[in-house]
A = this chain, B = another copy of it.
């Protein structure tokens, strides 16, 4: 397939075209994803999330620049936009964001509008991420807005998740963030020159203690049955304690330290075996989503639309419960 070959050879235009195909879930996009799959699994995926107003976009831009200019990495940014779930349409402009990295073939920034369908955003983001991975981008930032379920699902894609906070966003937003804190690998207090930065940092550290159990001493509870006693002691994998770092993205302050923390986390994941665990979990949810989709497609082939509509009408009239309707559609009888 020509498009796939061109993407593997580093053709930017082909990459942009393929990303659109994949985002729109076309036949060609699916075939290309399948062809590219063996080339994936090399990138470090970094999720960046947090409430609106924390300055995530500036932070991601600075990190992308740092990894490109200081480390020579090929860097991609997938910016999931706070756009309408109904009409789509990106709010962030690619051109605005790319200004100072424009023309650098080692950087690619892609804005994605959120999709209306449940799970659609996470699926589309995963697919776009795989294309970048296969195309040889080594650091892939996945930037999401907000802290809802959709954002959590997107963040689950990542090896390393940054949760960004900023001073002065109010207590209500803090309450929502408590949930997303549990998936944080690194916490960032951005806009750290604003009043209240110390308070925000203390609050995050306090919430971290609630979200992550304190490190317990390794307790040896005896051996599994049937083992010889010659095996190694269970490995006491080092526990990752999420650091809280301060940045001022607009001035580039704290970016080097944050970039080091990201690389340090990757080392930790590889040393502890968690890298493989996360990869496997990610591929499993992808497999499950595809399975689900295929099962539904086959159901639609088996059951004529008119039959489905007729059963739905009987549910609407309260003559059948939804459970009876499902049994009727799948087995030909309601009970």
How many of these chains are in the complex?
2
A16 at the interface (CB under 8 A from B): no
Docked pose: A114 CA to B84 CA in angstroms:
22
Docked pose: A175 CA to B33 CA in angstroms:
33
Docked pose: A12 CA to B275 CA in angstroms:
50
Q: Could you tell me the distance in whole angstroms from the C-beta of A310 to the nearest C-beta in chain B?
A: 12
A261 at the interface (CB under 8 A from B): no
Which of A40, A145, A295 has the most C-beta atoms of chain B within 10 angstroms of its own C-beta? A295
Check A52–B175 contact: CB distance below 8 A.
Answer: yes
Check B152–A290 contact: CB distance below 8 A.
Answer: no
Main secondary structure on chain A at its contact with chain B? helix
Task: Using known A-B contacts A84-B182, A150-B149, determine if residue A38 contacts B321 with beta carbons closer than 8 Å.
Answer: yes
Task: Report the contact-size class of chain A (Cβ under 8 Å from the partner).
Answer: 35 or more
A66 at the interface (CB under 8 A from B): no
Q: Which residues of B contact A283 (CB under 8 A)?
A: 312, 315-316, 322
Check A149–B121 contact: CB distance below 8 A.
Answer: yes
Check B287–A296 contact: CB distance below 8 A.
Answer: no
A255 at the interface (CB under 8 A from B): no
13 A-B residue pairs with Cβ-Cβ distance under 8 Å, sorted by A, are A30-B323, A52-B172, A82-B179, A84-B178, A85-B179, A86-B182, A121-B149, A146-B148, A148-B149, A290-B322, A290-B326, A294-B330, A295-B299
